């Protein structure tokens, strides 16, 4: 029996409880990309073999809707559980050791860049236009994101603010490599969001984030599918420029209420920040290699999804 056929037999057509537990676990892992700076929900979905089936489902919603919805329902349940369980410890860490934690996040983001660079040239060679896209996006993104809190102020943790947060989280799912938490830190929304998740604030946090996320997924899924299919290299160089710009602003003080503050930093803080930066860098590089390793597995998962949904 082939590996693909064995996977279909053992997982897709496994007893219902086993199947649900597996997909719930995958959803909890993908939720890390919603709240951890430097981690992309899209990359995690790709590693777990769910990204392309999810993108095709969202881009063609009416095609086998019921079968696809049933397939992804446990993934959504796992995502909610992951957010509730992981938000409190992350919120605590950011409150008590912000400099050390943020430098660790910056390392994790930079560690993911080589994988993005490899993916950007997986279909075509890098050319002059790609380099212009990358440098232009980095420069413009750095200036705009740095000045954004000055002109717009910190986005309040209210219903409209969390709708925006949901939109950014959805973009992190649609664009592998884009970590929405980077932007949430700059906008001052990350810690209010984490507090709401850990307190299970459904009407004040979960609902607006769900509304913003669902609307963004439905509006941009087809566009993102087209961009990746037809402008793969340009799209990824745009994403890399934005990732690098937002990473710089994690460790450079801005006017945001959640900006890094070195006022009380000591020599031990610097040492710990350097160590966690190195650990984050290693984690990001490992995640990138893991994505490469599991690309074959993603093909198997995609085949399993097509068989499970009859498409």
Q: Which residues have C-beta within 8 Å of that of residue 290, sequence separation ≥ 6?
A: 47
pTM of the complete model: 0.68
d(CA 311, CA 309): 5
Which residue in 293, 264, 217 sits closest to 96, CA to CA? 264
Paired tokens of 29: 């892992």
Res 139: pLDDT? 94
* pLDDT higher than 60, residue 81: yes
Average pLDDT over residues 39-63: 78
- Could you read off the pLDDT of 192-227 as tens digits, one per residue? 998 898 888 999 999 999 999 999 988 888 888 888
CB 32 within 8 A of CB 82: yes
Res 12: pLDDT? 46
Which alpha helices (DSSP H) does 48-202 contain, by range?
51-59, 65-96, 98-120, 128-152, 159-174, 180-187, 190-198
Res 208: pLDDT? 95
* Confidence grade of residue 164 (pLDDT, cut at 50, 70, 90): very high
Which residue in 298, 193, 171, 295 sits closest to 243, CA to CA? 171
């Amino acid at each position: 029996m082939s590996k693909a056929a064995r996977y279909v037999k053992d997982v897709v057509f496994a007893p219902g409880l086993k199947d649900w537990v597996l997909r719930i676990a995958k959803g909890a892992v993908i939720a890390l990309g919603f709240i951890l700076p430097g981690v992309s929900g899209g990359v995690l979905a790709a590693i777990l073999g769910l990204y392309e089936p999810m993108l095709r489902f969202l881009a063609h919603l009416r095609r086998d809707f019921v079968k696809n919805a049933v397939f992804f329902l446990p993934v959504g349940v796992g995502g909610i559980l992951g957010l509730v369980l992981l938000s409190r410890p992350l919120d605590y860490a950011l409150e008590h050791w912000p400099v050390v934690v943020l430098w660790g996040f910056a390392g994790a983001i930079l560690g993911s860049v080589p994988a993005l660079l490899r993916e950007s040239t997986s279909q075509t060679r890098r050319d002059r236009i790609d380099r212009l896209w990358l440098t232009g996006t980095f420069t413009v993104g750095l200036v705009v994101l740095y000045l954004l809190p000055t002109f717009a102020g910190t986005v309040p943790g209210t219903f409209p603010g969390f709708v925006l947060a949901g939109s950014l989280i959805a973009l992190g799912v649609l664009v592998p490599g884009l970590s929405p938490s980077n932007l949430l830190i700059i906008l001052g929304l990350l810690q209010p969001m984490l507090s709401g998740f850990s307190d299970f604030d459904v009407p004040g946090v979960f609902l607006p984030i769900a509304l913003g996320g669902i609307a963004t997924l439905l509006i941009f899924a087809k566009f993102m599918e087209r961009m990746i299919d037809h402008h793969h290299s340009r799209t990824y160089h745009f994403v890399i420029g934005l990732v690098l710009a937002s990473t710089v602003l994690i460790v450079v003080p801005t006017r945001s209420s959640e900006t890094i503050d070195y006022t009380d930093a000591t020599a031990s803080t610097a040492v710990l920040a350097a160590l966690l930066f190195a650990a984050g860098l290693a984690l990001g590089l490992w995640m990138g290699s893991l994505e490469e390793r599991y690309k074959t597995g993603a093909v198997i998962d995609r085949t399993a999804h097509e068989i499970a949904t009859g498409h």
